[in-house]
A and B are shown apart, each in its own frame.
Chain A
Amino acid sequence: MKIAVCVKHVPEGHGRIDPASKRLDRSGEGALNHFDANAVEEALRIKGDGDGEVVVVSMGPEKAADSLRKALAMGADRAVLVSDAALAGSDLVATSKVLAGALASEEADLVLFGQQASDADGAVLWAAVAERLRRPVVSQAAEVTVTGDTVRVKRQTEFGYDVIETRLPAVVAVSDAINEPRYPSLKGIMGAKKKPFETLTLADTGVDAADAGEAGSKTEVLALGSPPARGDSRKIEGDANAPQAIVDFLAEKRLV
């Protein structure tokens, strides 16, 4: 069984937006998006001791290799990085095309995603990629069980749980409640360097340059501003009627 996991290298620490490009400044240190670590962990659990293969795939700059290596250190078997100057500034539409292009040749039985990216740029990617691959997609997976060619997913929604079954090949996005990602062992970290690592250019994915990067993006960032100030903040001090004042305030905001 082949499981592909899409992972992202995201900026660490305090993000900042580069005023020139109006995009998230990705020049500093980065790390494996911790939501994607859940997806890698789930893939490793599903593979277990069997002879399947876990491939981690990422689209990003060269240093995204660090995150891929962390996934290899956790136990993934192979890594694929799609890295190309033409990819800079890709939005959801462009990114999903490129990832689908890279995944198409893998023909994985199961493609896993983490439920969101901590830099909020990668959320909802899974459904777009599934559409391009023409595969069923199930998101918010709190439990995933693979039996033969079927995958059963316990999906968390606002209302409770749905248990969904679909045939493979499928795309599943896992929630961060699904598991606790393992720490890479020392042997894992050292072994990661020897595992196969492939770097693809845009051309290798079969996607046209016009469909990727800023050129292929259908959305754009226009300007940055400050959010509306919190409004007038009120302070009550030493007021015996404080509880009533609070209720009135909440009523005014239609919160009770």
Chain B
Amino acid sequence: MTVRASDYPPPFAAAEFVGEPTDPADERIDVGVLIVGAGPAGLACAIRLGQLLEQHPEVAERLGDVPVALLEKGKQPGSHLLSGAVVNPRALRKLGFRMEDLPSYGPVHNESVYVLTGRNALRIPPPPTMRNHGNWVFSLSRLGRWLGERAEEGGTTILPETTAERLLVAHGRLVGVRTGDKGRGRDAEPLGNYEPGADLVAKVTVLAEGTQGHLTGVALDHFGLRGDEPQVWELGVKEVWKVPRKLDRVIHTMGWPLRTAAKYREFGGSFIYPMGDDMLTIGMVVGLDYRDVELSAHDLLQELKTHPKIRKLLEGGERVAWGAKTIPSGGFHSLPTRLHAPGLLLCGDGVGLVNIARLKGVHYAIESGRLAAESAFASLQRGATPATALGSYDDAIRSSFIYDDLREVRDMRQVFGRGFFVGGALASAMTVSKGRLAPGKLRAEPDADQPLLRTDRGSRYPGPDGILTFDKLSSVFLSGNKTRDDQPNHIRIERRVPRDVADLWINMCPAQVYELGTEGGDGTVTVQLAPSNCVQCGAITAKGGRLTPPEGGSGPEYTNT
């Protein structure tokens, strides 16, 4: 009997997170433009708005005491940001920044692409889609912190440790968000320092929540913006290492430890990027349409590090950071039908502006944030409030390089499934691997619809040695996660599921949130949760559950991921 995670949907309905403002009018907080998410998209939006409002003080005046407010659920901008990252500088330059002012690890000098087997690394020439000349290496978390400072200098009020929990909709129009409560206990009971959330009302709301954005998902449902093709995701897990020998190139790999047989649907690869003279970052990315319940992205990364060529890069070094996050990879075909609704603009990873073939999304996020700012500003300047006032945003996106790039690689997926090696790369790889790397068929199903299978994959992951390889709890510790335990569980899943689904989640989660509970006797088991381990990567939402934001300030505290 084929088991699918989607047969056991979570107790979740978008309507639960939509409502009218409930605070008395004089207690609502009024801001001009509200941005949710201090990631590259949200920060670019804030920075651009700051520039425009400075040039047009008459518009700024009309926006009241707080012209631009930016909500961030992490402790500060950067705490929840994680990426490779090799960034295309064009969008940053459009914001007016010079590369030498930004906190980067320098431009990409060399790069290599390898196909790995268990023992060897076969070099193949970087295909045109993978060439990174002209791009720069960043820690997205560090960049976020820096951009946060620029946004504040430009007049944005950043509100950290604050979640946006529900959409405030009145007369069919988005009028703001309600922030999350703080100080609730495990059973949602108010504790001694209980602080209820507040209604934050704005003229324009920009949702820039990143991958699996909570209100973004709610908004796509509520305003009927979903396209025909579902979104799909990859799960990326990465580490930052201090190393004695400088890495002189950007490296991408494919093949081992992922399996090439089509039935496993294991698409993805790894990246190793230098971070200055004495650090590097290494990560593993795997499509969440995989089927083996024993697959663990966390442990695949540990296994990857044991490869003789990779082990050498890390020898004598020390792991200093770890983190995980999903990446939307449906590309052009999975975009929503529109990126705006009355009072609402949608940016960045939350709506899938990612070119998985090139493994790039940061500059699209920044550009979309910048365009959202311009559109919001234009409508505020005109004093326009009709439903179509923000339509200029969609037009701008369609004429931008974001759209051109995503459209260019839209059919790669047909031939190559997912994973970030396309065109020449895969052709060379196919030659080198003697055809074992076969293209996958066009994927139209949601990740959670994949029929599950079980192998003994788990027996081949390396045990933790505390020097090169580590266990999940040590990794969670290194993400800086010290979430308060005594709060309500923020993860929605069906708790009583077949063993296969339970094992799927247990192995999938890089932070060991899910555990086997008691057996039901009818082939089902109860799934137990340790929600305070959660690093909010979003994988569960792709694979049959639903992540909602925990109390503001919870989760990882990334600094250099």
Contacts and interface: CB of A to CB of B under 8 A. Distances in A.
Given A12-B557, A193-B157, A186 B193 contact: no
Interface stretch (A177-185, A197-205, A246-254): A177-185
A183 B182 contact: yes
Given A29-B559, A180-B191, A180-B193, A186 B198 contact: yes
B557 A186 contact: no
A160 interface: no
B157 A190 contact: yes
Contacts of B76: 29
A28 B195 contact: no
Interface string B339-365: 000000000000000000000000000
Contacts of B559: 13, 28-29
A187 B157 CA distance: 12
Nearest to B183: A183
Given A28-B559, A193-B157, A186 B29 contact: yes
Contact of A189 (B75, B159, B183): B159
Given A12-B557, A190-B29, A185 B159 contact: no
B179 to A, nearest CB: 6
B66 A190 contact: yes
B162 interface: yes
A186 B159 CA distance: 8
B192 interface: yes
Interface string A120-135: 0000000000000000
Given A13-B480, A13-B557, A193-B157, A187 B192 contact: no
Given A12-B557, A29-B559, A190-B29, A183 B193 contact: yes
Contacts of A180: 191-193
B200 interface: yes
Nearest to B145: A29
Contacts of B198: 185-187
Nearest to A185: B195
A183 B557 CA distance: 19
Interface string B159-176: 100100000000000000
Given A28-B559, A193-B157, A183 B195 contact: yes
- Secondary structure dominating the interface of B: strand
A63 to B, nearest CB: 11
Contacts of B193: 180-183
A216 B300 CA distance: 55
A28 to B, nearest CB: 7
Given A190-B157, A190-B159, A182 B66 contact: no
A190 B29 CA distance: 10
Contact of B179 (A28, A186, A193): A186
Nearest to B196: A185
Contacts of A185: 195, 198
Contacts of A187: 29, 198
Contacts of B480: 13
A180 B182 CA distance: 13
Question: B75, B193, B200: which has the most chain A beta carbons within 10 Å?
Answer: B193
Interface string A32-52: 000000000000000000000
Question: A28, A183, A187, A190: which has the most chain B beta carbons within 10 Å?
Answer: A183
Interface in B149-165: 157, 159, 162
A182 B157 contact: no
Given A180-B192, A180-B193, A193-B157, A186 B200 contact: yes
A12 B79 CA distance: 12
A185 B66 CA distance: 16
Nearest to A182: B193
Contacts of A193: 157
Interface in A3-30: 12-13, 28-29
A190 B162 CA distance: 12
A193 B152 CA distance: 12
Interface in B6-32: 29
Interface string B186-202: 00000111010110100
Nearest to B31: A190
A29 to B, nearest CB: 7
B162 to A, nearest CB: 7
Nearest to B65: A190
Contacts of B557: 12-13, 29
Interface in B45-104: 65-66, 69, 75-76
A185 B111 CA distance: 49
A185 B159 CA distance: 10
Nearest to A193: B157
B195 A182 contact: yes
Interface in B263-316: none
Interface string B522-561: 0000000000000000000000000000000000010100
A39 B464 CA distance: 43
Question: A181, A190, A193: which has the most chain B beta carbons within 10 Å?
Answer: A190
B142 to A, nearest CB: 11
B157 A186 contact: no
Interface string A66-91: 00000000000000000000000000
Contacts of A31: 75
A136 B191 CA distance: 35
A185 B179 CA distance: 10
Nearest to B66: A190
A59 B480 CA distance: 27
B96 to A, nearest CB: 25
A169 to B, nearest CB: 29
Interface in B193-222: 193, 195, 197-198, 200
A1 B197 CA distance: 31
A182 B29 CA distance: 20
Interface in B499-538: none
B199 to A, nearest CB: 10
A201 B53 CA distance: 35
A193 B156 CA distance: 12
Nearest to B157: A190
Contacts of A189: 159, 162
Nearest to A194: B65
A186 B197 CA distance: 8
Contacts of A12: 557
25 contacts: A13-B557, A13-B559, A28-B559, A29-B76, A29-B557, A29-B559, A179-B192, A181-B193, A182-B195, A183-B182, A183-B193, A183-B195, A185-B195, A186-B29, A186-B179, A186-B197, A186-B198, A186-B200, A187-B198, A189-B159, A190-B29, A190-B66, A190-B69, A190-B157, A190-B159
Q: Which 6 A-B pairs have the closest CB atoms?
A: A183-B195, A183-B182, A180-B192, A180-B193, A186-B198, A182-B193
Interface of B: 29, 65-66, 69, 75-76, 157, 159, 162, 179, 182-183, 191-193, 195, 197-198, 200, 480, 557, 559
Interface of A: 12-13, 28-29, 31, 179-183, 185-187, 189-190, 193
Given A185-B195, A186-B198, 9 more contacts: A29-B559, A31-B75, A180-B191, A187-B29, A187-B198, A189-B162, A190-B29, A190-B65, A190-B69
